[in-house]
Amino acid sequence: MNRGDLVTIAIQGDFGKPRPALVIQSDVFSDIHETVTVALLSSRIVQAPIFRLNVAPDDRNGLTKECQIQIDKIMSIRKERIGSTIGKLDDTMLVRVNRALALWLGLA
């Protein structure tokens, strides 16, 4: 599992249904930490282009319908809650994710 991978996750609470998520954690920590930081994806499209990034389905990302990466919904989850890798984002979209994360977290 690497940064930029789209994975399936199962979590409890408000976002509890199985859903896709984007791995945003650095690859440096993949083998040494018991959790992985992800941004949730949603197929419910809202108008919030600064912190909700639209992703169209394609062969590389493995999505079946248009989704939004929810930069405002990032969390760290235990590795055992992560299912299979369904695809990967391209480098152009990862740059957009980096910029949106920096803005959301006040690093920009």
- Whole-number percent of the chain with pLDDT over 70: 95
Give every CB contact of residue 34 below 8 A, 6+ residues apart in sequence.
Answer: 78, 79
Confirm whether pTM is higher than 0.75: yes
State yes or no: pLDDT of 36 exceeds 90: yes
User: Residue by residue, what is the 3-state secondary structure of 16-66?
Assistant: CCCEEEEECCCHHHCCCCCEEEEEEEECCCCCCCCCEEEECCCCCCCCCCC
Kindly report which listed range (12-26, 73-87, 93-107) carries the lowest average pLDDT score: 12-26
Reported confidence tier of residue 17, pLDDT bands at 50, 70, 90? confident
The pLDDT value given to residue 18: 82
The average confidence (pLDDT) of the chain is 93
State yes or no: pLDDT of 15 exceeds 70: no
Length of the chain: 108
Per-residue pLDDT of 46-69, as tens digits, reads 999 899 999 999 999 999 999 999
The pLDDT value given to residue 104: 95
State yes or no: pLDDT of 16 exceeds 90: no
d(CA 81, CA 97): 23
Q: Please state which CATH class domain 5-104 belongs to.
A: mainly beta
Contact between 8 and 82 under an 8 Å Cβ cutoff? The reply is yes
Q: Which residue has the tokens 């980096």?
A: 98
* Cross-strand partners of 22: 6, 39
d(CA 71, CA 98): 10
